[in-house]
Structure 1
Amino acid sequence: MAERKSPAKKRTSAKTKTTTRKRRATKKRTVKTKPSRRWGRWLFGFTVKLSLLAIAVLVVVGIYLDGVIRDRFEGQLWHLPSVVYGRVLTLQPGQSISHAAVLKELEVLRYQKVATPRRPGEYSASSTRIEMIRRPFEFVEGFDPERHIMLTFNDSGLQKIERVGQGGQLGFINIEPKMLGMLESRSEEQRLFVPREQLPEVLIDALLVTEDRDFYHHDGVSPLAIVRAMLVNVQAGRTVQGGSTLTQQLAKNMFLSRERTLWRKLREAYIAIILDYRYSKDSILEAYMNEVYLGQSGADAIHGFGLGARLYFDRPLEELRVDQLAMLVAVVKGPSYYNPWRNPERVTQRRDLVLKLLLENGNLTAGEYEQAVSRGLDVQSQARIASRQPAYFQQLRREINTHVGDNFEPGIGLRVFSTLDPLSQQSAEQAVRQMVPNLGKNLETAMVVADRRSGEIRAMIGGVNPGYAGFNRALDARRPIGSLVKPAVYLSALADPSRYHLGTTLDDKPIQLKGSQGSVWQPRNYDRKFSGEVPLYQALARSLNVPTVNLGMAVGLEQVKQTMTELGAPAAEIPTVPAMLLGSVSLTPYETTQMFQTIGSGGQRAPLTALRAVSDIEGNVLYQFWPRASQQVPEQAAWLTTFAMKHAVVSGTGRRLHSQYAWAALAGKTGTTDNNRDSWFVGIDGREVATVWIGKDDNSDTGLTGSSGALRLYQSYLERRVPERLQLSWPAQLSTAKYTKQQSGRLKLDCRGKMELPVWDKDGELKDACNDPLGGFIQRLFN
């Protein structure tokens, strides 16, 4: 029989079951809620860890970027090219420089003519005066501030230099040199660094009001600008406005690529924040305005407003009008899209928008705004920093390598002061472009122009296309010089006054010279005619071959060679054979110029140079050339030779010049080689010695003589570069002798003669010759 449970046990059992059910229910609830709590805790922990990791990454990246930024900003920000300047024009009272010449100089330097000069780079002029405000400039000797001066001229040249507003006169004034261009840097970017304090305030206002109104108030990134740009773009249905600050643009330009990705944009913002934190607003603005891309000059990318002003207007930045500055700001948005030469209307509209923003911001008055928008763009004819002088720059580089060497480091912003005269170079280039194509086909040319006294090279052209950087014929083309050798032959004779003088009779008759191997040389005059007897100075003026050979053989080939080397020709290029007397000597135009510089300066050879000085960005002078000359041949002999070369212009082979420039008393010498392969001319005025060569690279017949080719090119040069009168001071021991010309052509000394010639009276015997009844000295010297 089954055992029956008591009521107490039943209650206990029931209670136990209830407890068990509750435990099971609780257990079930515990099982359901525990994973949720764990996930929450895990997610929270993961987020914290991820945030810490992100912060750590940001910190590490920030430290890295900060280091990169500091290395760049606290060193040299950019690779700066070496800027090349032309010669410095020094004006002094009493100087024989004309009113017109100074006006031409100001035109080349892009001074603006105004009614009353009020700021640097402006001038006014009357018939005898020029009032100007000379620009401030960092010369080799140091910084010289702007100068307000009055120049007064008379018929003989510059009379006085007065200080306007301060009173008193100046003993001299240096006119700042023209910027010629730049030597290579380490990159294709070119810029002229302009410090913040030299940036025009209206330019800064225009940039900020157009590109970043809140620049001085945000922390490198402007959320407000981003939102504003998004709204404008949504309304327009396209991207018409960016939200990047100037700081972000600087970050992108200096540290990032141009890819358009979110990651690049984030890095750009981060760098901008670091820049804003570490550097002042003015430092960032200075960097931006020197970094911003503004266009192309050939293969060179032009960066910064300083060089941008030169690219578009060929003027210093501080001299631009407000409308020109507004155009530069307009170009910032896209130099290709807003190209003033291709899209002038588009650029004008953008410029006027910038001007309108300046008006609305209170930076311009209504009158100033109306005046600015009424102007044209006034850009120069083509996008260029400066006209190219590749031949001259090649010589400049050679001298830099020689004189500066390792101290010349590309990319550190050196300043190179050259000797180039912009007026001479411009005149030479214009003459070549106009004249050479009219002389024949396939012709090439070269020109070297040097200061007559100092030897400083004022202009150089290496080919028929002056702007082409190809083979430099001025420096590297050795060609037979033909009759250009003759002045050295005659100078060799005139250096011996006991035997030779300008009136010495030379035979002009057929001759034969035997060579060492039995050959016979029969020199002839160019016209195949003979004069019988001819005075020495006429033989040189008419460039007669036969008298020259007779004279050279009498003087001696070794003596002629020595004279040529003393004048500056390399001895290795001079063969000691009779044919050398008629120009079988091959020289470059550069070497030829050196020879005639020595003759034209009274026998004082001044080494030709294109380099005047080199200084670094701090103003320290690394190299400076001081013009120096040494007496190489007797002054009297050089003077007499130059005198005979003047007769070559008056009545000889260079007489084409006389009718036009008789007042200038020029000296010159033509040169022609066999079969008219080479046409040469050397002209000397009071300022310069100019050597001109015309020929063909294949050495074929040009159909030109020295008179019909090179002389005409020199004449075209003088039409643009008005010569100075060649005045030669008489050296000591020079006297005047009187002559009577005989029927044979011979000159006979005659104290009552009507013809006069200078004579080197070395021993003073000629002084009282006409009072010498015995005439002993006369017999020795002239018979």
Structure 2
Amino acid sequence: MANFLSRFIDKSSEPSPSKGVEPETLTPEVDSEAVASQEAEASLDPQAPPPKKIPALAIAKSTWRWINRGKPIYRRPLFWATLVIGGGAIATGRAIYQFEQALPDPSAVLTFVRDETLTILAADNSILQQRGPATREKLPIEKIPQVIQDAFIASEDRRFYQHDGVDYRAIVRATLANLSARVVAEGGSTITQQLARVVFLSPERSLTRKLREARIAQKIEEELSKEQILERYLNLVYLGSGAYGVADAAWVYFSKTVDQLTLPEVATIAGLPPAPSNYSPLENPDIALQRRNIVLRRMEEVGQITPQESTAAQAAPLGLNPSPPKRFDVKAPYFTSYVEQQLPKLVPPEELAVGGLTVETTLNMRWQAIAEKAVKNAIEIDGPAQGFEQAALVAVDPRNGQIKAMVGGQDFNQNQFNRVTQAQRQPGSTFKTFVYTAAIAAGFSPYDGYLDSPYTVDGYKPENYGKTFRGWVSMDNALTASINIVAVKVLIDVGFEPAIRMAKEMGIVSELKPYYTLALGALEVNLLELTNAYGTLAAKGKFNEAHGIRRVLNRRGEVIFDGKYKARQAVDPNSAAIMTWMLEGVVKSGTGRPAYLSDRSVAGKTGTSEQARDLWFVGYIPQLVTGVWLGNDDNYPTWGSSGTAAFTWGEFMSEVAKDIPAEKFPDLPTLEGRKGSIKAQPVTPRQVIVGPIPAPNTGSQNSSGGNSYSEPEPAYQEPYYEEPYYNDQW
């Protein structure tokens, strides 16, 4: 014990009595010898009383006084500890006070009106469309069936009637689930928090906003009843496809009122709030079906429906019968529909849920009117005579990818199917451009010669239109005349992989397979991707992503999307210039003659699929690329020609060109000594059969006696084997 106490007593440091400081003021009065004697006696005599103990508090006080002896107050730890703790408490209290003062009045929930209008503007800021809610019907809680209330509570907030606005159990459960899945698989927001987010908060994602959301939810719970909260939520929640609230959703997805909905339909709607665009049955029916069944199982778990009802409902189809939201001042409906489909990819879902967006687009209203007239004339004048009932046209600025005009069909009101973006059709000879571009980029010359004669490769026998042959021809002349056999031979020489890679680099996004028929367009693409890919050549080899949206503003006028797209070099400039020169020849003296413009250079290519089911022309000037398609939705053959598509192109471009100054294409680069920018990877066929060489000029004229501008029709035959031999190195 004496040794223990000696730790607190430093006799060498005791001040001298002569200085007026008494030793007892520094240490407690302890007789160490007496204590030691008492301990010794206690160890010998069991009946002796226990030794005297020094209180711990006395030791602590003594120690603290020893630490602070002779120090000014500002050098003492207690002073600074008190200052820091006190200052922190004051700052925290002030922050909490300011936080509370900044919270909105929760009663505003009862009077909040959502700005549900989506406004789409043309490039000149004229209104293309204003889309409003489907019904504008807001229902009192008594008019909302109990099954709808139950479904949303089971799906979104099963402890809705127990918590005070924040469900801490749900937060813990969601956190554990997300950590386990290593993704955000589950959320912890209550219905009240979601309502607070819709009415009061911006869509930003931050800890501050989440704290505000939680506190506002608690204040809402203090002011409003559970029934009032649920009523406002079910009338304001965004449910995808332009539907705000359950009444809108019932109409948009099923063309029903809320009291007409079946249990599976109710569950479909109740599953939408976490991701309205992704779970929309109109956009992703398979995902929507899975989500619906999750809601049904949750309803069963909480006892809202029986297992038998759940099983029967999960077996039911989605049963969609959609009715679109109301649209006002509709112009260019195919284009505005395309814009609406693109929005969820560009704008955060929180902003879509809030509504009131303004979308600034790239559409040129004058050019759009010209495009609509050209399509109308093609369908009404040329269609009956040539056996097609539909047409589509799209124009894109190749310098930046902006869509300037889009007509997706004859009548949007009768059929909303957009043949510019949704129709996958065989492009025919328009695809030859990508094969030839790959060859030119690999160092081939447009003057390289190929034999046009009967030809069979690995069992596949391509045929020219009219089954005619021209003998030895250059690549340039073969493209101008759209000779099928030469196109297949060029594909074999350059290789499948380089040709496919080139098409992808230029903008083709659809699936391409390494078959010989690839050279003749035996694949499916849509008009927008095909047209934009040609624009890569017009832009001197630079690819710009086609787009129709420039900017998106939220209801507060803040820019939430600014389309700053970057170009990339997909084709080297010299190869792009050579291909443009070759495609000019198609328009000057080949199958594209009806697209000729007298005041400027035009480059382009015609295309016809098997039995003339699809008639194409894609052409460009330096500032604009336009694609035209003619055909039938049921893929029924026409008896027309791609020359009609070229004529429609010329009808549109001759008017539009009045707004565009004439520019020349780049000059043909020096060909001598030119090296390729990519490497050819020739195909090694198993078997090649070459027919006799025809006499000079045989078949140089159209022996069928038909339209001199007709596109040679490819003979489509899939090879009898799965894939030909080819090397997979670039």
State the TM-score, normalized to the length of structure 2.
0.49
Q: Which has the higher contact order (CA 8 A, sep 6+)?
A: 2
More strand by share: 1
Instruction: Output the TM-score relative to the length of structure 1.
Output: 0.46
